[in-house]
Structure 1
């Protein structure tokens, strides 16, 4: 539910109160809906009771008490609390429902095996590779990726070669095991990999850092939520759409849900096309969507944990699980602390 939609919802609640004779006011054209201020709670707050108090000839708190049940009974609203002199604080019943809820539930149920399928069920994939480090690393990743799709890889050296990615121009070993594997697996097979110290730099320009950092942030958010006394709960909401929580987080949540939903297809294509680079690049997509959403997963200041926070946390936990599983398929460590 966007702020504009919520404004219409508030006005509809006012109209019902007027129609039932509980308030005698001219129904305004719009209601101001904003994130809660200091001392507030929930996903949004409105000062509509203060706005209507003078024309209604009633104290703002009394107007708020009249409007609260009308607003609480509205579809998409989980709860309404009154704070301060009469602010209505709205908890949205808008979570990871529909396809989003199904995806998150599946990820959290299957954990690192999410995305495994039967695309190559019973098939034996024979890879003939040259004695070259990049070919060896690609074949090693394909052993796990193909196994996740029900197949089996047999690797041998000889001719004719049927897997020959463009080799690295220099030895990747000085980068260390994880960064070296990423440098060799992230580019497409026909692109020459860059063996540079950029893969070791801890900044957002480094895709490997973003993926591992996003995973560590997901784990940290789950720990921090536990310290605050709440945990992920995908069933906190009943809304049928794919979004999560308040409008500022909506697009990020939708992007993350879409990336998680696409992950099984990416694994299937990576196995059938012998292209682990597809997995590496998709992990960057998941990581970027997660990092855009992370700041909305926990309450801020005096804000209390809401159903929206629990649903966002479930989405964050699912994304961290996918990142860990994908990195594992590539043979790269996914540290909980970075």
Structure 2
């Protein structure tokens, strides 16, 4: 079973937090891990374990349990993508922080209360704050599950119930958080419109039949690319989303749709794909061109 680690990030480290999230990394000075068994704790973290980063909470010099009703201005939930390793390339401006873990950000929330995260999680973050950002690890993922349950909903009835990239994480809790991220992107893309036009076929449908689809797959994108609206396109559930997701159609450098060789697998599939060939994708421009280039080079279905 995955475990959960907690790291508190103080207010002066806001820039380092943002840099680390964008780079998919978190790091410590070697001297920080040499104290009080901190290295053994971090070395115990495995790929797939959860990480909760708490930022900008109250004074941590309070009695145990003193954060139970506190508010954290920012909480980031991630998974470990690479266990502890050493590297000296420059990532953060103020120091090397050579002791590093790779992280995959799943969700970010603001003004998270102790009631949402749970008393045990808040105490772990308070302890981390008093240990200069050392990791505090607990068994299981109950605090992450609690947060998922307590967060206000993002989804509305205009949204497809299964709005999740096909290559999403297999962990159920992680899937919920990834879906929440995509629901936020969908809200930014579609808003409160009751109807939306598909970027591929150009047909207009009730918004519940439109998915906010990543052009460059989420699993291959950086955090910045995942949240970049130029990497998100409205794709209808009447066929376009699946055709593009599975690489039966792709977009040329001039913005026109083409069919891959594997779209000829059956006569019906060929007919559907060829009906889109030559159309110009909606809102195509230089801001989307690089993401479509990635799809052409990595996601086209060759049928092999």
* TM bracket (short chain): under 0.3
Higher normalized helix content (fraction of residues): 1
Q: TM-score with structure 1 length normalisation?
A: 0.21
Higher normalized strand content (fraction of residues): 2
Q: Which has the larger radius of gyration?
A: 1
